[in-house]
Amino acid sequence: MICPYRSGEDSGTTIEVRNLEFVYENGFRVFTNVNLTAGEKQFVSIVGPSGVGKSTLLRLIGGFLKPTSGEVYLEGRRILRPTPRVILVHQSIVTFPWMTALENVMLALKPKRMSKEEAREVARQALERVGLQGFEDLYPKEMSGGMRQRVAVARALAADPAVLLMDEPFAHLDELTAEGLRQDIYNILFSEDNPLRSVIMVSHNLTEVLELSDRIYVVNGSPATIVATVDVRMPRPRSPRNPEFDRYLDLLYGYLTRERR
Ligand SMILES: Nc1ncnc2c1ncn2[C@@H]1O[C@H](COP(=O)(O)OP(=O)(O)OP(=O)(O)O)[C@@H](O)[C@H]1O
């Protein structure tokens, strides 16, 4: 069930991070020897203490930062710069307030050079997928936090990425809204008509992580590395009331609080 220090060799690997090391310009060494994979139709989470480097790792995976050494591969090809195949949904850049829901989603289609009518239709379908049909013409200030987050997800999905990177996507939502959105998003992400192959999420919320993830990487230490890989083998939908859920929670707490070196 649990394989500490495991390096990924799964068939159908979408993302592979190999021997990654990263040092910021000021000489701060954030990571050493990071190896991880995200497989076909796999929801992967990264957890770790605050400041350990989780957001940095997402930016490295997306090609927004260049590794000091080591490599990141997408479907076997090295990622050297940002690509429309890997989209990052960040908690703070959610929607553009001067654009309607539809226009926010259409923005993601600009690089595809489709006609305006075609883009409107694709954007309308993306909004429908996240349950926002009928709300196309609302501005962000007229929407709830959960609706805005759905628009951000629709915009990410409209670009047809292979991999979605999500940095604390539910952090600003109340628990009830987050709960509904989490389930919806899992179903949308991995529905048959969606070309998305993998999701990698950073979150502090271990309950959320256990509800969603097929695999969890625990990042810890300074410099940080992957200290444990936990494959979650609970049937879905998962309930925090299930005793097995508690066992996984204890395990994750253990890895997060254990001193390294
Ligand atoms: N541009 C930078 N230059 C130098 N150090 C940086 C830079 N950006 C981030 N750091 C440092 O790198 C470390 C990792 O930051 P990062 O934001 O990736 O952590 P995190 O695990 O996502 O944190 P949190 O959970 O609090 O959001 C932190 O110690 C941070 O201070």
State the distance from the centre of ligand 1 to the C-alpha of 191, rounded, in angstroms: 34
Q: Which atom of ligand 1 is nearest to the CA of 168?
A: 27
The answer to whether residue 127 sits within a structural domain is no
Per-residue pLDDT tens digits for 194-237? 888 999 999 999 999 999 999 999 999 999 999 999 999 999 88
Residue 235's domain is classified under what CATH number? 3.40.50.300
Nearest protein Cα to ligand 1, atom 25? 50
The residues with which 231 forms a beta bridge, in sequence order, are 215
How far from the centroid of its chain's Cα atoms is residue 133's Cα? 24
Token pair for 133: 């049909």
Ligand 1 binding pocket includes 205 (Cβ within 6 Å): no
Q: What's the confidence (pLDDT) of residue 146?
A: 82
Residue 163 maps to a domain: no
Question: pTM for the whole thing?
Answer: 0.90
Q: Indicate if ligand 1 lies below 6 Å from the C-beta of 115.
A: no
Ligand 1 site, residue 53, Cβ cutoff 6 A: yes
Q: How far is the CA of 170 from the centre of ligand 1 (A)?
A: 20
Assess if residue 152 is contained within a domain: no
Are 72 and 15 in contact by the 8 Å Cβ rule? The answer is yes
Three-state SS at 118: helix
Residue 103 lies in a domain: no
Range of the domain at 4: 1-85+197-261
Q: Report helix, strand or coil for 186.
A: helix
- pLDDT at position 260 is 56
Q: How many CB atoms lie within 10 A of CB 106?
A: 21
Looking at mean pLDDT, say which of 61-75, 102-116, 148-162, 192-206 comes out highest. 61-75
Query: Does the CB atom of residue 54 touch ligand 1 within 6 A?
Result: yes
Joined together, the tokens standing for residue 247 give 């066992």
Classify residue 149: in a domain, yes or no: no
Q: Which long-range contacts (CB under 8 A, 24 or more apart) does 203-207 make?
A: 203/45, 203/47, 203/168, 203/169, 203/170, 203/171, 204/47, 204/50, 204/168, 204/171, 205/170, 205/171, 206/47, 206/249, 206/252, 206/253, 207/240, 207/249
109 alpha carbon, distance to own chain's centre: 20
Query: How many domains in the chain?
Result: 1
Q: How confident is the model at residue 181 (pLDDT cuts 50, 70, 90)?
A: confident
What are the tens digits of pLDDT across the range 130-140?
Answer: 889 999 999 99
Q: Let me know: does 181 contact 146? Beta carbons within 8 Å.
A: yes
Residue 207 in domain: yes
